[in-house]
Amino acid sequence: MISNKCIFYVFLVLTLCCILADAITTDNSLPLYGVKRHGFVNRRRDGVGAITSNHGGLEKRKKENDKDKDDKGEYAGRGPINKAAAEDSFEDNDPTGSSECQSPSDGQPLVQYAVVMDAGSQGTRIHIYKFNYCSDYPQIESDIYTKDKTGLSTLANDPQKAAEVIEPLLKQAMEKVPQELHKSTPITLRGTAGLRLIEENKRNELLQQVRDKIQESTDFLLDTNNNDGGVIVMSGEDEGLYEWWALNYVLENLKTPTDSETVGIISMGGASTQFVFQPPQDASIPQEYKKTYRGPSGSHDVYAQSYLGFGKTEARSKVFEEILSSSSQQNDGSGKDIVYSTCFDSSFSSNKPPTTGTDEDEESIQDNEDGGGPMTVAGTKDPGDDGFQKCYDTIKSIFRVSDINDIDSNSGPDSVDSNIQFEQAPSELLPDNQTLFATSKIYDMVKAFKIGPDFTPNDMKVLASKTCQHDKSAFNDIKKSKDLKEMLDDPYLCVDTTFIYALLIDGLKLSPDRTLHASDDLNGFKMGWAMGAAIDMLLNKNN
């Protein structure tokens, strides 16, 4: 006879199986993450680059993350939001109310949502921003976001799939924005460098598919302030300007007409790098790099330059091709021509440059002069003491002014704009005491190897010199985070660190001892252009 105890356990197992099956069959949504405002961030500088909070926001996050100090350490409150913290903080128990005030500024709603879709080269992200109007200008209160790993630029030859990619993202936004606020919520999708690299006709068809899907599936208000239908590919300069704007807006540097103590930003993505800062008022900014922002403090001119093709992923491809074209080849005796480089360790061997995240990547293989087949790039067995220098000499050559071209956002990949060049030295206009933030890919590197958050180009050179020895044991003194382990296993690590150093010194022409502040979020909010675009939509909506 079966005992009652056995019956109980059988019942328990069946119940758990039913619960699991129900979860698998009914929950197909993407994971949602988000953050809420932690007090206000005011500025108190302890030397160049050091920014702390007088209102407990960063300090609170630091205490919350002390248990993860080995992974975050001094980056607590500045680094990327960890998954657990995000999942604990995105729920809003009062989506139509504000945690900051009970009544809005005259003539404004208490809360206002804005939806921004970021079509990057390595994924498509949606941000659902909640702002309040406790004062005359919108103040961010929360950011809910999720991501699909498909970059729309990979769908250039199959644009119909773009609608499939954004559909679950739009569904999340429809669920999180209160129904009664849908028709007053502006939405935009903006593509970045990955989409700028594909042909114009393919790009336009893809964007139209997205535009149609948004209009069919939501009641949101497409942002058409610029007569672009709300779905566009931004210029690199606008991308940088929006990120600069968001950073300084959250830091409350743009509240009054007398505010002039802004911070600059260097943002390296996968396909491009943006450099944006505010020069002195009497500085003469080249017209092609001059951008004007308007906000609570009025209108101001900033320097904004984008270097398309000089993001981390695109740079890898450039370096690979440069090695093939500039190094002498050797024959390994089997008919295969090899070019050796200290940029890679001895286990590396490839005749294909890395892909760059667009559907139009060509598996370009350079044939040798005799037509005997593809040439191979291989790492050296012993890089020697000058391994870094040899790799650096190769990489800095990709910053030759005569070879640097950018692609206009309205043109195809064969279009050349001769004004976008490294011959302009933006650092000549950069105030010596202005804080410079380094974000995204640069931040990832600085954080993983714990050389910051404040660092100099010389610090990056020291790191590059170590990575170009291709000896993992040289980093045994650093606790191995997941990111660090992945970087140490990446055959392009020496290329990446050396490229960042060369970009700062040979590209942007910064002083070797110039202090930069590595960060990727501020007061809990992830830094990026999307927040700046949301603020811009709201300010335009109310004008």
Do residues 263 and 434 lie in contact, with contact meaning Cβ atoms separated by under 8 Å?
Answer: yes
Q: Which strands, in side-by-side order, build the sheet including 516-518?
A: 290-295, 298-308, 272-277, 264-268, 436-440, 516-518, 454-455
Residues in a beta bridge with 413: none
272 annotated as ligand-binding = yes
Q: How far apart are CA 245 and CA 225, in angstroms?
A: 18
Identify the DSSP state of 104: P
Closest CA to 517 of 461, 434, 448: 434
Residue 283 is which amino acid? A
Distances (CA, A) of 365 to 194, 270, 316, 390: 22, 22, 15, 23
- The span from the CA of 387 to the CA of 468, in Å, is 6
> Per this entry, what is the length of the chain?
543
Task: Please state, in angstroms and rounded to a whole number, the distance separating the CA atoms of residues 127 and 439.
Answer: 18
Q: Say if strands 231-233 and 376-379 run parallel, antiparallel, or are unpaired.
A: unpaired
> Left, alpha or beta for 457 (phi > 0: left; psi -120 to 50: alpha)?
alpha
Which amino acid belongs to residue 226? Answer: N
**Is 274 within any annotated ligand binding site?**
yes
Query: What residues does 144 pair with on adjacent strands?
Result: 34, 128
Label the pairing between strands 516-518 and 436-440: parallel
Number of Cβ within 10 Å of residue 13's Cβ equals 10
> In 3D, which of 173, 187, 188, 166 has the Cα closest to residue 232?
188
271 marked among binding-site residues? yes
Q: Is 96 one of the annotated binding-site residues?
A: no
Please answer whether residues 68 and 80 qualify as being in contact, where contact means their C-beta atoms are separated by less than 8 angstroms: no
Active site residue 239: yes
519 is in an annotated binding site: no
Total Cβ atoms within 10 A of residue 477:
7
Catalytic residue among 141, 239, 243, 322: 239
- HEC states along 299-350? EEEEEEEEEECCCHHHHHHHHHHHHHHHCCCEECCCCCEEEEECCCCCCCEE
Enumerate the β-bridge partners of residue 264: 436
Q: Are the CB atoms for 293 and 245 separated by under 8 Å?
A: yes
Q: Using an 8 Å Cβ cutoff, are 341 and 377 in contact? A: yes
3-state helix, strand, coil in the chain (%, to 5): 40, 20, 40
- One-character DSSP codes across 282-297: T----GGGEEEEEETT
CA distance 330 to 414: 33
Which residue positions form the known binding site for ATP? 270-274
Tell me which residues are annotated as active site. Answer: 239
Per the annotation, where are the binding residues? 270-274
